[in-house]
Amino acid sequence: MASQTNRNGESVDDVVSIIQDVQAQTADRVGSTEAPTAAGPIRRAFQFRRRYPQHGGDSARHQRVAHAGECSDGRMSGTDEYYNRAKQEGYRTRSAYKLKQLDDAAGLFGPGNVVVDLGAAPGGWLQVAAEEVGETGTVIGVDFQRIDELDADTVETIRGDMTDEETKDRLRDRVGADGADVVLSDMAPDMTGEYSVDHARSVHLARQALDVATELLPAGGDFAAKVFDGRDLDDLRADVDAAFEYVRTVHPDASRDASSELYLVGKHRITAPVAEGEEFDAVVDDVGSEGDGVVKVDGYALFVPGTETGDEVRIRVTDVKPNFGFAEVVAE
């Protein structure tokens, strides 16, 4: 039986050899200390490329091997702009530029922020986050793989699996009672070669990250997670939208053109005790500086136009912000 080849005439064994060579070069040049080396996943990746050429680049030489949020870049040749920039500017991974572009697009970071990075190995995103939050910030990376120490006093790492309660407890302790300002996830599943399965697994990882974010983020916090495009994306986006003031879908330029990966960015975590569309009877507690009545619900302020202190009204919530909201009087 003839061996399988791709459109460049490369056999499975050729591709295995190519990618294993690339992984060794990547470890030396970029600082990814634990690139996967097993031939099995690479063979599956080859099969995946044959079945789904639109999901991962233009040839098996550029197959992206999932690795805790960082993918190998095939040959990683000198023609790859972001690889070259990472090498020149001292970043451990080319994906560092994805985070830079996410920040440019969505304004994730600020000085003094507490940032949690899930799936942080080998540390490219930690480097970028540390630069953005400055000396007064804190960046906490979590991964089941070892992360080599970074030259930044503001970066802490936790080695563990986020599905384990012990790891979650360690993360809660590091973050502290005030919570985090930003939760990031560049986690990616091990590729099976079946796109529907890989998509579903990526959605599952993103949901795990969302669970962590909704626990650790106080009102106003931000969230960003990688996911592969597919049929379950709309449901995931709706869940992110329900927990944040708004959600954006971002495709960083540093992602390969043929890649199906994208990032969901949830801005301004909402922890309000009310929901848009909810109706209830209330008493106006105060009047705000703009002249609108103020109804307090567990300390959360709802501004109600056309009311005064002491009015007893039935209201409908029309808009919910992280720290306050708006309502209207429901006609009797």
Name the catalytic one among 100, 226, 267, 321.
226
Instruction: State the pLDDT at residue 74.
Output: 35
- 296 carries an active-site annotation: no
Kindly tell me if the per-residue pLDDT of 13 is higher than 60. Answer: no
Question: What single-letter DSSP state applies at residue 265?
Answer: E
Yes or no: say if 230 and 260 are a contact pair by the CB < 8 Å rule.
Answer: yes
Site of tokens 């992280």: 322
Same fold flag, 93-269 and 279-329:
no
Question: What single-letter DSSP state applies at residue 273?
Answer: S
In the chain, pLDDT over 90 holds for what percent of residues?
70
Q: What is the pLDDT of residues 74-125, one digit of tens each?
A: 334 446 788 899 999 999 999 999 999 999 999 999 999 999 999 999 999 9
Site of tokens 């650790």: 216
Q: Which fold has domain 93-269?
A: Rossmann fold (3.40.50)
In degrees and rounded to multiples of 5, residue 107 shows phi and psi of: 60, 60
Residues 6+ apart with CB under 8 A from 146: 33, 34, 121, 159
pTM score of the predicted model = 0.72
Domain-wise residue ranges, the chain = 12-86, 93-269, 279-329
Q: Which spans in the chain are helix H?
A: 12-29, 39-51, 81-89, 96-106, 124-133, 165-175, 195-216, 233-243
Classify domain 279-329 by CATH number: 2.40.50.140
Question: What single-letter DSSP state applies at residue 274?
Answer: S
